[in-house]
Structure 1
Amino acid sequence: MASVSFVLKEPNSKEETLVYLLFRFSNSKLKFSTGEKILPKFWNPEKQKAKETKQFPEFPEFNSRLDNIEKWIKSIYRKLLNDEEEITLDKLRAELTKKVKPQAEVKKLDLIAFADELIKNTSKKPNTVKNYKQALVKLKEFKEAKRKPLEFESINLEFYNDFTKYLQERGFSINSIGGFIKNIKVFMNEATDRGLNKNLEYLNKRFRVIEEHSDTIYLTQEEITKIYELDLSENSRLERVRDLFIVGCNTGLRFSDLNQINSDNFISNGSQIKVKTEKTGETVIIPVGKRVKEILDKYKGVLPNSISNQKMNDYLKEICELAELCESVLVSITKGGKKVQESFKKHELISTHTARRSFATNLYLADVPSITIMKMTGHKTEKAFLKYIRLTQEQNAQKLVNHPFFN
């Protein structure tokens, strides 16, 4: 039995988001962009229609449009059944596209034109949009340098190999190249969802997002104590940044989540923080430790506001230099296909994300089970979580000294 439903692409968005049609039949599912957008607050998920409210006066026309799309897909499906034709997702998508987007309205887009349009209309967060734009710039440069078309059909393994080689020759690191590939796959997925692309070679396991383990640092409990005990009473600018960073080191919360904390987030008589994380929508509950309580008391229960991420990172480097975190750290990355090592002072490598990584690593070193830490960091897979753990061979051996196997 065939069924129709409508869902929002980003149901938690604060901006308008696309409405998708889901058509299920014979253990198959067609996902099709209606092209219609709506603010989630005006959407009724139970009725799968726009709310009938004066705040959204165009709801009659909007809902009528969805009704028409539902009628069209059912009609197309019945016709294929009656004609005893093989019913495929491609056939359904092609016929529905003719109805939803008449030929006069359908623009022939290549990957670059589509990505450009997607970026202009996306409601993603600024950092995500920034990454999309960087990937688009590289695609444009590649197209110009190679004088090759970038139609959807040309995004295959040959393109993948040529594009990654092109970036390697220009000195990009493996992780940077992986980031560009990841966003190209985002563009292709979106084009496929909208019925504009039928080439699925980008899903081939060899068309993969490459990455390498980076030597990103973490702070030990002793180093965090040095930062916490630093006297910054005569520099409120650095003091506020330091205090917020310490809260991050003791909760594992991203700085975007620390910004949203208020009195409503404290539960169990203030002994725990409950937060719905902004990035993943995951709800986490974290014990409130002694240092976090002291900082909350200092600011009368309200955490200091953070500033821009770039400024925070600049100030943190300044703070950690004052705390004399000056040991040399060798960082290894692959650039232009070659392994390169660079030496830095530890304070030069500190960023806001160091707090979250330090929280996870210090708990892990304290023998807190991974699953328990993941409940607080919001990681859904152990593979993703373990990327945060910075454990030297010596630390790993020390953890095992008292294990029954070695005694």
Structure 2
Amino acid sequence: MANIQFRLQSSTKEKKPISVRFKVGRKTDVTANTGFSINEKDWTETNLPKKNNDVNKLLHKSLLKLQSFLEDRYNEALTDSTVIDKFWLSNQINECFERVEKKDTGILANHIQFIIDNANTRKVSGRNQIGISKSRVKGYETFKKIIEDYQKTAIKKQIHFLDINKTFVDKFTNWLINTRNYSKNYSGKQLDNLKTVCLDAEKLEIKTNPYIKQIEGFAESNEERFIVTLSFDELEQIRTCNKITNDAHLNARKWILIGCEIGQRASDLLNITKEDIRYKGGRMYLDVIQRKTKKSVTIGIINPYVVDIMKNEFPYKVSTQKLNEHIKKVCEIAEINEKVEGKKLNPEAKKNKPETMRKIQNFYPKWELITTHSFRRSFASNYYKKIPTAVLIQITGHSKESLFLNYINQREDKDANADLFMQFYERLNKDKEPGMTVIRNAQ
């Protein structure tokens, strides 16, 4: 059981600071300033203020409140394996009297907001650039809402960087997956965000828990992932469907056909214009600077109907959200009905209920699962093993082959490079005259 005592600190001032000593056995003995002070003549032998005026009565009541608060929080700390130190004690005092300032740099949520507020001047890691993307800022805003939700509904207190130990991370992970029912990928991403923010705070010399370097995100295994793509045959089915008559759906069909042929993210696809197209030797080239990686990519467009669309019927721009709605309808009209296994967002999520923000795994008609992200995956899957992987990687923007293969749920084919070499060798030597023939010595 904890032994809690209040003491007067030595001081030359008339009013002396009141500290609290928190002692448990021989191992735990910490002291912190309560923030209160009192004239020594108003202090009793029982180490509490006299009740000789209204101010001291209130102070007496406040110290007893703190004593009860510390006892309760200590019991919680025992179940959490929390380290009881001076920081813990000071933090409990501030929590008890709600003294935590909104501008306190040691608070996790405040530092997330600091990153958001300074987004346009922040240096991008690994690049000689400043200013983080709008999508990344939105990611930080979402992460802050999740942290505030966790503080409000789960732990009933603000999170300080020094609080973020293994126990905290384990409980936060459990809350993300089992209470909020977020997917493994989404939950793992929030842990990545947590580590990123903590490391950023550390760079600014804000005190953090040493455990932050051990925080690791996670993702679904290949067996748990569902890759939904449109095959060449299905794309032809969409292209030739004469039941698509609505203007928005006709526009969406164009984006489907272009997207599945150029292999770019939706954010890049929907920002291309006719000015990005150029011609050389009668062939069409599309130049794109990928927003996420800042890579400059050139794609050769040779598919006749895609060339025609981009040259004569270029689609008008639409938001990703709207396009996702339209392409589902286009695929439904084109009868892309094959039942495939996948995950769909719980319909209740549209009612802004955080606990329902999860995807339900089941078998659905394929059109229900098609999104703009299917375009890039369709390109990569359709052309895999038909075009050298190194060429595909340069177009999709993946940094290495292993990431590309994981993206389309393919295992490394160790024979692929050997087969490719032999194919090119055969082509190189196809039209050559027979050269010198080696004849073995007859015995």
With the length of structure 1 as denominator, give the TM-score of the two structures. 0.63
Return the match for 1:162 from 159, 171, 194: 171
For the pair 1:277 / 2:290, whether they are aligned, the reply is yes
Cα offsets for 1:138-162 (capped at 9, x unmatched):
2122223223552112222222111
Tell whether the 8 Å contact from 1:331 to 1:343 is kept in structure 2 after alignment: yes
For the pair 1:140 / 2:148, whether they are aligned, the reply is yes
CA 1:160/1:198 → structure 2, altered by over 3 Å: closer, same or farther? Answer: closer
What is the alpha-carbon distance in structure 1 between the residues aligned to residue 336 and residue 245 of structure 2? 21
Q: Which has the larger radius of gyration?
A: 2
For the pair 1:217 / 2:228, whether they are aligned, the reply is yes
What is the alpha-carbon distance in structure 2 between the residues aligned to residue 332 and residue 263 of structure 1? 38
Shift of 1:245: 1.8
The alignment's C-alpha RMSD in Å is: 3.3
**AA aligned opposite 1:113:** N
Tell whether the 8 Å contact from 1:251 to 1:359 is kept in structure 2 after alignment: yes
Cα offsets for 1:262-301 (capped at 9, x unmatched):
33542524432222212211111211122321112332xx
- Gaps of at least 5 residues in structure 2 are 1-102, 121-131, 347-354, 421-443
What is the alpha-carbon distance in structure 2 between the residues aligned to residue 247 and residue 146 of structure 1? 48
What is the alpha-carbon distance in structure 2 between the residues aligned to residue 326 and residue 136 of structure 1? 39
What is the alpha-carbon distance in structure 2 between the residues aligned to residue 115 and residue 339 of structure 1? 27
Tell whether the 8 Å contact from 1:317 to 1:347 is kept in structure 2 after alignment: yes
For residue 192 of structure 1, what is the aligned residue in structure 2?
Answer: 202
For the pair 1:227 / 2:238, whether they are aligned, the reply is yes
For residue 114 of structure 2, what is the aligned residue in structure 1?
Answer: 117
Tell whether the 8 Å contact from 2:106 to 2:207 is kept in structure 1 after alignment: no
For residue 153 of structure 1, what is the aligned residue in structure 2?
Answer: 162
For the pair 1:363 / 2:383, whether they are aligned, the reply is yes
Trace 1:5-404 onto structure 2 (pairs within 5 A): 107-123=104-120, 124-144=132-152, 145-170=154-179, 171-204=181-214, 207-212=215-220, 213=222, 214-231=225-242, 234-258=245-269, 259-269=271-281, 270-289=283-302, 290-299=304-313, 303-331=314-342, 341-366=361-386, 368-390=387-409
What is the alpha-carbon distance in structure 2 between the residues aligned to residue 251 and residue 332 of structure 1? 26
Shift of 1:342: 1.4
Shift of 1:233: 6.8
Identity of aligned residues (%): 28
Tell whether the 8 Å contact from 1:174 to 1:211 is kept in structure 2 after alignment: yes
Consecutive aligned runs of 4 or more in structure 1 exceeding 6 Å deviation: none
What is the alpha-carbon distance in structure 2 between the residues aligned to residue 177 and residue 316 of structure 1? 28
Shift of 1:313: 0.2
What is the alpha-carbon distance in structure 2 between the residues aligned to residue 383 and residue 235 of structure 1? 41
What is the alpha-carbon distance in structure 1 between the residues aligned to residue 104 and residue 360 of structure 2? 45
**AA aligned opposite 1:380:** S
What is the alpha-carbon distance in structure 2 between the residues aligned to residue 163 and residue 187 of structure 1? 15
**AA aligned opposite 1:262:** K
Shift of 1:383: 3.0
What is the alpha-carbon distance in structure 2 between the residues aligned to residue 362 and residue 163 of structure 1? 40
Count of residue correspondences: 287
CA 1:304/1:200 → structure 2, altered by over 3 Å: closer, same or farther? Answer: farther
CA 1:119/1:226 → structure 2, altered by over 3 Å: closer, same or farther? Answer: same
What is the alpha-carbon distance in structure 2 between the residues aligned to residue 365 and residue 325 of structure 1? 25
Cα offsets for 1:90-117 (capped at 9, x unmatched):
xxxxxxxxxxxxxxxx954311111123
Q: Secondary structure at the match of 2:227?
A: coil
What is the alpha-carbon distance in structure 1 between the residues aligned to residue 183 and residue 219 of structure 2? 9
Tell whether the 8 Å contact from 1:217 to 1:390 is kept in structure 2 after alignment: no
What is the alpha-carbon distance in structure 1 between the residues aligned to residue 360 and residue 241 of structure 2? 35
Shift of 1:200: 4.5
